[in-house]
Amino acid sequence: MLTATYALVALSVEQANIRLSVLSFQKYVESTLTRQHSLTLSQLEYACETLERLYQACSWRKIELYLIPALRQATERADQLLDELSRLNGFALGIVRRLKERLEHAGAGSVEPDPGICESIETFCGTLLQRLEKEEQELFAIARSAICGEAWFAIANKLLAHDAQVAEARRHGEGPGSDVIALVPRLAPPAEPVAAIEIRMPAARLRERERAAPRAAAAD
């Protein structure tokens, strides 16, 4: 279970980074936008861009790329929860689309006073935070009990490869420092199915399996 623990800790760190980004933007909205009579066009543009980046960041997290596909293969116990998470995701996306439509129809200068804009942003942030909470409190628990050891090795390998790819991008100037939102690729490739992921088994475990094979053959 050490591999499962490592993977879940790595995923929890990513969750914390996303949560920090959401809370930081939420604080900006509460301290700035909600205190104004109306928003400038540039403020609405910034809000729409940030919401879209937050949505993309959540969509391309490691939990989406690696853990959820493995969980779908391992058990049906999480189907109801995954459907609920998907609904939250769709609800957040709907808010982004509506605000972008509002931006497209906005005139130059300032946007007409509308408390619904800030309320929509607050709802978006609350929806993402609710999803993060459900993943950590419910999804991780199901994953720990349902995903087998070899699948956890596969997930851990993909997490390491993912981090190495991000580090390489930073070294080549393709990643903007520690900004967790901007580090997320805009057009990330879909996750490979768990069955297609190479499992790098530790040498000790491999020797144990090799010793067990003759015993199993003799028993047959």
pLDDT tens readout for residues 24-41: 999 988 888 888 777 778
Q: pLDDT by residue (tens digit) across 168-180?
A: 887 876 554 444 4
Say whether 110 sits in a helix, a strand or coil.
strand
Q: Is the dihedral of CA 73, 56, 140, 7 positive or negative?
A: positive
CATH of the domain at 206: 1.20.120
CA angle 209, 212, 215 (to 5 degrees): 160
Residue 41 token pair: 């066009």
Please give the distance of CA 139 from its chain centroid, rounded to a whole number.
13
Please give the distance of CA 104 from its chain centroid, rounded to a whole number.
28
Give the HSE-up count for residue 70: Cα atoms under 13 Å, Cβ half-sphere: 30
DSSP string spanning 124-176?
HHHHHHHHHHHIIIIIHHHHHHHS-HHHHHHHHHHHHHHHHHHHHHHHTT-S-
Q: pLDDT by residue (tens digit) across 77-100?
A: 999 999 999 999 999 999 999 999
H-only helix segments in 60-110: 62, 68-74, 79-104
Closest CA to 183 of 3, 54, 97: 54
Tell me the residue length of the chain.
220
Task: Compute how many other C-beta atoms are within 10 angstroms of the C-beta atom of residue 61.
Answer: 21
Q: How confident is the model at residue 207 (pLDDT cuts 50, 70, 90)?
A: very low
**Could you tell me if 75 and 57 are in contact, meaning their C-beta atoms sit under 8 angstroms apart?**
no
Q: pLDDT by residue (tens digit) across 108-135?
A: 556 665 678 889 999 999 999 999 999 9
**Could you tell me if 123 and 22 are in contact, meaning their C-beta atoms sit under 8 angstroms apart?**
no
Please give the distance of CA 175 from its chain centroid, rounded to a whole number.
18
Q: How many domains does the chain have?
A: 1
pLDDT average, residue stretch 37-49: 84
**Could you tell me if 73 and 195 are in contact, meaning their C-beta atoms sit under 8 angstroms apart?**
yes
What average pLDDT is seen over the chain?
78
Residue-number span of the structural domain to which 9 is assigned: 2-219
214-to-198, 201, 203, 204, 206 alpha-carbon distances in Å = 24, 19, 18, 17, 14
* Whether residue 188 has pLDDT greater than 90: no
pLDDT average, residue stretch 50-70: 92
